[in-house]
Copies of this chain bind each other. A is one copy, B any other.
Amino acid sequence: MAGRAQALKYASDRKLQFLKALEEFIRIPSVSTNPQNKGDMMSASSWVRDKLEAIGMNAQIFPTNGHPVVFAECKKTNSAAPTVLVYGHYDVQPADPLELWNHPPFEPTIHDDYLFGRGASDMKGQVAASLFAVEAILSNGLSPVNIKFMIEGEEEIGSPNLNSFIETHQQLLACDIVLNPDTGMIAADIPTITYALRGMSYFEIRIYGPPHDLHSGLFGGIIHNPAQVLCELIAGMHDSQGHILLPGFYDRVRPLSEEERNSLAKLPMTEQYYINQTGVPALFGEAGFTPIEQIGARPTLDVNGFYSGFIGEGSKTIIPAWAMAKVSMRLVPDQDPNEVTEQLQAYLAAKTPATVRWEILKMHNGPASISNINHPGTNALAKALESVWGKKPVFKREGGSVPVVANMQRILGVESILSGFGLPDDDIHAPNEKLHLPTWNRGIDSIIHFFYNYGENH
């Protein structure tokens, strides 16, 4: 029996054990944002380290200024074979509001084909799938590729310590490709590879008028109202067709090729699909692009928050002293977050009237990323997904930001293959998060295939 078939049989025989182990992992409430769960973060990282050791890898825990990183690699390396680094995170989102859960979030519960629990889909299930695939491979000897794991504990809080970990451990982390199973599938019957993510620039814009609130009767008519000025500035950031008007904003935006547009048009994400997903009466976006293009391939500018003056119940007749908006842009290749900052500054400098004073606070900044869909690693995963699902995967762009992808590219010079076996209705970051178990088991098989495919053809 060839290694691949043996590994697939091993995984098939071990389904129940894999599920029990995943339940054990979910039971640890590793909520990274909550200081009370610090001990649980240690337990979760130890759980990952112990499992990696148990399947035959050399694993260790690296402390950081925050929660630790677990790193592991195969005991024997094959210098002729390529190296895959599996990225994942063992931390989870907070479970509140607790009262909306049908079962306690950290007591995994099975209903029909689903495993319910915080982290089941995002992403303990995905980390475990990768780990069990490697267990299946190593159970019968050597791996077809060199495998490393880097499992962090701070993804849900923005990975504040990961970049410095990567920078100081470049040799340890050296690899040919990163497998990042932190994005999901479009549907249970549509295997999916994500090849582009948007970046982000996040700002707070402040407009200062009078040194304190003024009476709107005594002074209304002679004062430029800072809230009105900020409204005008924000209104001026888009035209009526949804184009962003910051100077030079689109200069570096990589146009979509005809081929890519055709390929995206085949995805089942229609206007109605997004209306159902979001509950809005009608969509609105940049003219000339389809919703999937607007989300995946075009930059956006959104107001995330706005505050000025009196916002309690009732009325207060003031001209506010100042106004504030949180504004963020989702960026696409090849926009440069620093240039975008300059574009916003240039816009504000040009448009803000002399009757007020403006300032911006830079909150955070990360570039977009796009992967080469012809990379041998991507081909290996596409073929793996096809073997398991019986159909070619779709390639999609996603609107969110996974900064680690751009940072691995920048620091280590390696691309990431983005996939995963979560589904859009898994309710990640929400109550009653769940994992579709048949899809999860297919995921384990897919990862086994991926390693063999990549080992054979790299």
A residues near B, CB below 8 A? 33, 93-94, 100, 157-158, 198, 200, 202, 209-225, 227-228, 230-232, 234-238, 274, 277-286, 291, 294-295, 298, 300, 302-320, 323-326, 328, 330, 353-357, 363-364, 398-401, 424, 427-431
Chain B residues in 8 Å Cβ range of A278: 210, 214, 219, 222-223
In angstroms, Cα B286 to Cα A44, docked, is 57
B429 adjacent to A318 (CB under 8 Å):
yes
What is the chain B residue whose CB lies nearest that of A235? B235
* 30 examples of A-B residue contacts, CB within 8 angstroms: A33-B312, A33-B313, A94-B312, A198-B217, A202-B315, A210-B278, A212-B431, A213-B430, A217-B330, A217-B399, A217-B401, A218-B295, A218-B428, A222-B283, A222-B295, A225-B303, A228-B235, A228-B237, A234-B235, A235-B235, A235-B236, A280-B355, A282-B355, A284-B353, A303-B309, A304-B310, A304-B317, A304-B318, A307-B311, A314-B363
- Given A302-B319, A305-B320, A306-B307, is A284 in contact with B219 using a C-beta cutoff of 8 Å? no
Return A80 CB to nearest CB of chain B, in Å: 39
Chain B residues in 8 Å Cβ range of A286: 221
Return A456 CB to nearest CB of chain B, in Å: 34
Chain B residues in 8 Å Cβ range of A224: 280, 282-284
B306 adjacent to A323 (CB under 8 Å):
yes
A306 adjacent to B309 (CB under 8 Å):
yes
B285 adjacent to A311 (CB under 8 Å):
no
B306 adjacent to A311 (CB under 8 Å):
yes
- Given A231-B303, A305-B309, A429-B213, is A295 in contact with B221 using a C-beta cutoff of 8 Å? yes
Return A250 CB to nearest CB of chain B, in Å: 14
Copy count, this protein chain: 2
Chain B residues in 8 Å Cβ range of A313: 33
Other 19 A-B pairs with CB < 8 A, given A200-B217, A223-B284, A306-B308: A33-B316, A157-B314, A158-B315, A212-B279, A213-B430, A216-B328, A218-B295, A218-B424, A219-B278, A219-B399, A220-B302, A221-B399, A227-B303, A234-B235, A235-B236, A283-B355, A305-B311, A311-B326, A318-B429
State which of B212, B238, B312, B400 has its C-beta within 8 Å of the C-beta of A217.
B400
Chain B residues in 8 Å Cβ range of A314: 33, 157, 363
Residue of A33, A202, A231, A427 most packed against chain B (CB within 10 A):
A231
In angstroms, Cα B308 to Cα A128, docked, is 34
In angstroms, Cα B236 to Cα A57, docked, is 61
B213 adjacent to A280 (CB under 8 Å):
no
In angstroms, Cα B209 to Cα A157, docked, is 25
B320 adjacent to A303 (CB under 8 Å):
yes
- Given A225-B303, A281-B355, A306-B307, is A400 in contact with B218 using a C-beta cutoff of 8 Å? yes
State which of B231, B281, B291 has its C-beta within 8 Å of the C-beta of A306.
B231
Across the A-B interface, the 10 shortest Cβ-Cβ residue pairs: A217-B400, A224-B284, A235-B235, A221-B294, A305-B309, A227-B303, A231-B231, A231-B234, A307-B311, A305-B310
A295 adjacent to B219 (CB under 8 Å):
yes
A228 adjacent to B238 (CB under 8 Å):
yes
Chain B residues in 8 Å Cβ range of A318: 304-305, 429-430
Return A121 CB to nearest CB of chain B, in Å: 11
- Given A94-B316, A398-B217, is A222 in contact with B294 using a C-beta cutoff of 8 Å? yes
B354 adjacent to A93 (CB under 8 Å):
no
What is the chain B residue whose CB lies nearest that of A228? B303
- Given A306-B311, A318-B429, is A274 in contact with B328 using a C-beta cutoff of 8 Å? no
